Amino acid sequence: MSARSSGRYVGRFAPSPTGPLHAGSLVAALASWLDARAFNDGRGGRWLVRIEDVDTPRCSQAAAETILGQLAACGLHPDAPPVWQSTRSRHYQAALDALVAAGQAYPCGCSRKDIKQAHAAVGHARERHAALPYPGTCRAGLGGKAARSWRFAVPRRQPQAQAIMTEPSATQSQGALTAAVEGPQVCWHDRRLGQQHQDVAADVGDFVLRRADHLWAYQLAVVVDDADQGITDVVRGEDLCDNTARQILLQKALGLPTPRYLHTPIVYGPNGEKLSKQNGAHPLDLGAPAAALIDAANVLGIQSPEAGRNNLIPDVLSHCVKAWRRTYNQTT
């Protein structure tokens, strides 16, 4: 039975525990919670929390517990115990084994320096804030180098290739296009940003599935976890939109369903950069959690409740769910 025919919705918030939540991450958490709670005319779907601690050197148990406490203080309670990526290595290995067996993943012996030199040799320069695509050096073999990482072999465009459309998921209207893939070209619909497309071969190249330090790459882990948790709708920050095409390619390669996507506005710091832990974002001040929720709701285009910042958390959340339903028309 399809997600749509069963009237099912499963969403998630998936923070990396490298530090406490800040104002930008609360926006994403609130949006994903609202989307789940607004589903089916406000009767609601399921909302899960996944702790994305696969990058173990940067993550900590203490930060994860802090995040869970911050969510609870804001009234954002998951419908099941959190899933921890650090416990799921065998699932990621099984997915990688399947890709290798299908000829869709290969070992790579290149360092970052090797990739930079390969591009320099043909006159390619790196643009600011942009990574150069992997040039495919090891796609035909290691050439005597030792394997460092594993990469996904991005499909190349074939003459007269036909777009492959995925089945609409949970709340997608009947017959609507979720995603289409033609070789490396991926097209999908974002519920806020509209039609999106990316040529993964040209923009990214064959991307990493398992890193040189033996840690699992985000792209593989998130695809496996979303499928295993039955996620029908991914609501996350707009800074992650660029990952979507790679994840759709992996979903197709592994025979997994493609969720619907909605990418939320980004919160910027005083320096004009995206607010993040890396650039010194301050932890949420939860002395007044209702006020923090109202600030996050304002970023999402939701006006404050009439009583303003003195509202109780349940009243703020109820107001926000109604406003979200009007904006995104959540029906089965």
Return the residue matching tokens 């994860």.
Answer: 64
Q: How far apart are CA 223 and CA 63, in angstroms?
A: 23
- Rounded to the nearest integer, the mean pLDDT of the chain is 87
Which residues pair with residue 164 across a beta bridge? 181
End-to-end distance of the chain based on CA atoms, in angstroms?
15
Average pLDDT for 297-319:
86
Q: pLDDT digits over 219-235, tens only? A: 999 999 999 999 999 99
The amino acid at residue 152 is: F
Do β-strands 149-152 and 105-108 pair in parallel, antiparallel, or remain unpaired? antiparallel
pLDDT of residue 260: 96
Cβ 75 vs Cβ 313: under 8 Å: yes
For 124-150, what is each residue's pLDDT tens digit? 665 544 578 999 999 999 988 999 999
- 172/232 Cα distance (integer angstroms): 10
**Residue 270 reports pLDDT greater than 90:** no
| Predicted confidence (pLDDT) at residue 282 exceeds the cutoff of 60 | yes
Question: What pLDDT, on the 0 to 100 scale, is given for residue 279?
Answer: 63
Residue 57: how many CB atoms within 10 A of its CB?
8
What confidence score (pLDDT) does residue 132 get?
A: 81
- Among 42-56, 127-141, 175-189, 280-294, the range of highest mean pLDDT: 42-56
Q: What is the distance between the alpha carbons of residues 203 and 115, in angstroms, rounded to a whole number?
A: 14
CA distances from 31 to 38, 54, 180, 224, 248 (A): 10, 24, 26, 22, 22
115 band by pLDDT with thresholds 50, 70 and 90: confident
Higher pLDDT, 115 or 39: 39
Instruction: Spell 279-296 as b/e; 16+ CB within 10 A means b.
Output: eebeebebeebbbbbbbb
Q: What is the pLDDT of residue 124?
A: 62
d(CA 189, CA 176): 9
Q: Residue holding tokens 């406003």?
A: 323
- The pLDDT score that the predictor gives to residue 163 is 45
DSSP per residue, 231-268: --EEEEEGGGGGGHHHHHHHHHHHT-PPPEEEEEPPPB
229: helix, coil or strand?
A: coil
For the cut 90, the answer to whether the pLDDT of residue 3 exceeds it is no
pLDDT score at 272: 67
The pLDDT of residue 172: 44
Asked if 28 and 235 touch (Cβ cutoff 8 Å), the reply is yes
Q: Which tops the pLDDT comparison, 189 or 114? A: 189
Looking at residues 85-104, what average pLDDT do you find?
Answer: 98
pLDDT surpassing 50 at residue 173: no
Confidence (pLDDT) at 164 = 47
Are residues 78 and 48 in contact, defined by beta-carbon separation less than 8 angstroms? yes
Share of the chain above pLDDT 90, in %: 67
295 vs 147: CA distance, rounded Å = 48
Which residue's structure tokens are 């932890």? 283
| pLDDT at residue number 211 | 96
What pLDDT was estimated at residue 182?
Answer: 84
The percentage of the chain sitting over the pLDDT mark of 70, rounded to a whole number, equals: 84
pTM: 0.88
Is it the case that residue 170 has pLDDT exceeding 60?
no
Average pLDDT on 86-92 reads 97
Nearest to residue 169, comparing CAs of 237, 251, 240? 251
